[in-house]
C-alpha cells in the first residue's frame, strides 16, 4: 500500500485485528483479511445460504430472478430445487414450501392469500363482476365459477373442442357440456407441509348459453387468481356478446388487457374514490374502477401484483404478449369501448 506499518497496526478494516498473512484483500483503499473480505463482499446464495462458488475462470457466477432478483448458485437450476408455482421464487433450504396435491409448490407468503375452494372464490368472482359492470361490460348470464385441481383442468381442456391456451393452463372458459370435479372444501396442511383432506365433488355443466363455466386452478394467491379470472371473464364476455372470428392474438390480447386493468385497479388505484360508475376512458389507469376488496395490501401483495403485471407486459408469445401490447396501445389511444366496437366490426385492434 506504499506505506510503512508496525505489524500490530496493520489491521483488518472489518474485524480490527492485525493482518499477519502474506496475502490480504483491498476494498476502497482499506485492507481486509481474505476471510473477512469474503464474509463482507462475496455474495451468498439466497437458496442454500452458502458462498456462491467461482467458476473455472475464478469469477463469481450466479443466476438471478429477473423480477425478484433472488440470487442463487447456477447448480440449483438443475438440482431439483423447487420454485413457487405462483411467484417463481426458489425454495430456500431453511424454509419449507407447501406441497399441493398435484406436486406444485407454494411459498408461505403466497399461501397467506391463496384461494383454495370454490365457495371461497365466489367473493372474488363478485368483485370482478362489479369491475366489469364499472366498465359498462356487465355479463347478465349466471356463469358458474369452479375452482379445480390441475387434473380436472386438464381433463376439461381435453373435452373442449376448440381454444388456444398457454402450455400450462391455469384457467378455462368452457362452452361444452361435461362433468367437472370441483373443490368443495378448503384442504388442510398436514405433516411435511403437504396439502391433505382435499374434498371434491362432481359438477354437471349444462349449456344454457355460449358459456357453461369458468374453471380456475386452485391454490394461487388472490391477486393471481383474480387476474386469471378477469382474463377468463373477458373470454366469456366476448362469446356472450357475439364477438366472432377473432384471431388468437386479438382475443387473448384483449383478455390480457382486462387482466392487467384489474390488477391496476387493485394495486395502483385502490386508495382513490370509486370509479366504477364511470365508463372506460382512454387511459388504462382511469379505465379501471377501484378495488371493492376492503383493507390495505401488504408489501408482498403489492410486489406480487407488480410481478404479475410484469409477466403480462413482458410475455414473449405472439398471442398473449404481442396481443396484449397491441391491445393496451389501442385502449390507451382510443378507449376500451371504441376498441371493442372496432373489434366487433373488423376482428382487429384499431391502429
Beta bridge partners of 11: 18
Residue 326 lies in a domain: yes
Residue 28 lies in a domain: no
pLDDT band for position 55 (cuts 50, 70, 90): confident
The total domain count for the chain is: 1
Higher pLDDT: 176 or 217? It is 217
Task: Provide the 8-state DSSP code for 76.
Answer: G
Q: Residue 344 corresponds to which cell in the numbers above?
A: 366487433
Residue 75 lies in a domain: no
Of 320, 312, 314, nearest in space to 253 by CA:
320
Task: Provide the 8-state DSSP code for 209.
Answer: S
Rounded Cα distance, 219 and 91, in Å:
17
Across 65-79, 192-206, 261-275, the highest mean pLDDT is recorded for 65-79
Q: Residue 285 corresponds to which cell in the numbers above?
A: 389507469
Query: Which helix (H) or strand (E) element contains residue 181?
Result: strand 179-185
Q: How many residues does the chain have?
A: 351
* Structural contact between residues 107 and 46, judged by C-beta atoms closer than 8 angstroms: no
Report field, pTM of the whole predicted structure over 0.75: yes
Residue 91 lies in a domain: no
Residue 48 lies in a domain: no
Of 216, 200, 239, nearest in space to 150 by CA:
216
Phi, psi (rounded to 5 degrees) for 202: -75, 145
Residue 108 lies in a domain: no
Query: Residue 123 is part of which domain span?
Result: 115-270+298-346
Residue 134 lies in a domain: yes
pLDDT band for position 162 (cuts 50, 70, 90): low
Averaged pLDDT, 263-286: 52
Residue 106 lies in a domain: no
Amino acid at each position: 500500500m506504499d506505506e510503512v506499518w508496525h505489524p500490530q497496526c496493520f489491521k483488518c478494516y472489518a474485524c480490527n485485528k492485525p493482518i499477519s498473512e502474506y496475502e490480504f484483500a483491498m476494498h476502497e483503499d482499506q485492507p481486509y483479511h481474505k476471510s473477512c473480505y469474503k464474509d463482507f463482499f462475496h455474495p451468498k446464495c439466497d437458496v442454500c445460504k452458502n458462498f456462491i462458488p467461482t467458476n473455472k475462470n475464478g469469477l463469481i457466477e450466479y443466476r438471478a430472478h429477473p423480477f425478484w432478483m433472488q440470487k442463487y448458485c447456477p447448480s440449483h437450476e438443475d438440482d431439483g430445487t423447487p420454485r413457487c408455482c405462483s411467484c417463481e421464487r426458489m425454495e430456500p433450504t431453511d424454509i419449507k414450501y407447501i406441497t399441493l396435491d398435484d406436486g406444485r409448490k407454494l411459498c408461505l407468503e403466497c399461501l397467506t392469500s391463496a384461494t383454495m375452494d370454490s365457495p371461497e372464490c365466489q367473493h372474488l368472482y363478485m368483485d370482478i363482476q362489479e369491475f366489469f359492470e364499472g366498465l359498462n361490460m356487465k355479463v347478465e348470464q349466471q356463469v358458474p365459477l369452479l375452482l379445480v385441481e390441475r387434473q380436472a383442468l386438464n381433463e376439461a381442456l381435453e373435452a373442449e373442442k376448440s381454444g388456444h391456451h398457454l402450455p400450462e393452463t391455469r384457467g378455462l372458459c368452457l362452452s361444452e357440456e361435461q362433468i367437472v370435479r370441483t373443490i368443495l372444501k378448503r384442504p388442510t396442511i398436514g405433516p411435511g407441509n403437504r396439502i391433505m383432506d382435499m374434498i371434491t365433488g362432481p359438477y354437471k355443466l349444462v349449456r344454457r348459453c355460449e358459456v357453461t363455466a369458468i374453471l380456475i386452478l386452485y391454490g394461487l394467491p388472490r391477486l393471481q387468481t383474480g387476474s386469471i379470472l378477469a382474463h377468463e371473464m373477458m373470454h366469456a364476455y366476448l362469446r356472450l356478446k357475439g364477438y366472432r372470428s377473432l384471431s388468437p392474438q386479438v382475443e387473448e390480447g384483449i383478455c390480457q388487457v382486462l387482466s392487467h386493468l384489474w390488477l391496476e385497479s387493485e394495486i395502483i388505484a385502490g386508495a382513490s374514490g370509486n370509479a366504477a360508475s364511470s365508463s372506460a376512458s382512454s387511459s388504462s389507469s382511469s379505465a379501471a374502477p377501484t378495488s371493492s376488496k376492503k383493507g390495505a395490501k401488504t408489501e408482498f401483495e403489492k410486489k406480487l401484483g407488480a410481478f404479475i403485471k410484469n409477466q403480462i407486459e413482458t410475455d414473449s408469445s405472439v398471442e398473449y404478449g404481442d396481443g396484449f401490447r397491441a391491445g393496451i396501445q389501442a385502449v390507451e389511444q382510443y378507449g376500451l369501448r371504441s376498441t371493442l366496437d372496432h373489434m366487433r366490426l373488423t376482428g382487429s385492434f384499431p391502429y
